[in-house]
Structure 1
């Protein structure tokens, strides 16, 4: 299986396991800058050079050798499951993607037909009942993850623990897993632990949130989107994420973690 979703700087100063919707654009750009002294011109997900990616055939040997022998500092980042699934809905379902089209072609029309989801009209900017449509999207997300229908689960709403586990199962070891809610503090620990070609001031970097302007703005507090049934569905989907990465399931309005991540626990429980 190898190391899908794994990126590494060309200098092999650091290794990162991408977790979608967890600041991956920003982290990738920081990695690129640390080697080259400039940011990639465009979406870092489109970069075919200047950074090693498992998806690039000529990077796989270098990544495998490095990760299996734990030669470099390896890390990833996680996010509160409530805000992550909300972000996935507004970006991928309601938003127009950077290519000017809807995400995954006929996905959105299918959701409208099968689940009665509204998504802001053709341009993603019309008003609609965000709470009702999001809760219907949750049913769809649960169906994809629990029963793999009407499609396989998408990487943007499949559990973080699933992404993170592939790195461990295939021989990788994490030195750090940090919360996006404390991004500067967590990313600074990564930079402090590595030797880079170019130093980075995290307080001065641009924003690289590629989904920021894709779709409609969220019009309600996070907690308003989750009633008792919605919370049950979220826990059904993301139970391991809440438990391993120490987020507060009981209060959707609290995006902050409630205790420290135990790396030994993560490796033990996701390494099976």
Structure 2
């Protein structure tokens, strides 16, 4: 199992394919598996793709029990790049991973070639908050695995999509949970998000070519957050996926992959 010893963490990672490096940063509670094997295979067909388990998640070993920040997680990304001998890479983060990706671009601009921000937010008082229902489901029911599974599915997908695909979604999520995250680490990640001051005032400093992706029916990070990022980022393109939720990369996988590949290859 490949691990990068970065001091505070031993970061689990995988490398697929060859070519221009692309690093994927997953969101709250997820891990490298959550990108989906088909999504990974498609992106790795033309480039070197790096996926990893965030600080606190799944197979990554977290040393100590102190709180950490999204900036700490951004440093993990750069530490992994150094471990792999990468001077520069394209960076694609979703949800919390998109927040981390913004901090990577701000603190280490020379390490980023192009930036992709999916279903994410600038944070702070300028963000559009989740619905009350979504905010409650983030906490879930301690010890109730069935309720947590249902919460995850409802947070990611609109009701109509769930109704049409519930058995498939339940089976998929059970497979994704084969490397579960300790509950205390989930709340450490959530605390890092909740205490993040955000990037609204700093966004104009991100001059990288940036692709902003968002589902129009996202209840967790509403689409207006993607529009805010697009307005504040000086060199950005916005793509919205009608009728999709926070899990837009699964709902609109073909369109998302086409947009990502077109952007990276331009």
The structure number with the bigger radius of gyration is 1
Q: Which has the higher strand share?
A: 2
TM over 0.5: no
The higher relative CO (CA closer than 8 Å, separation ≥ 6) is in 1
Q: Give the alignment's TM-score, normalised by structure 1.
A: 0.31
Q: Give the alignment's TM-score, normalised by structure 2.
A: 0.32
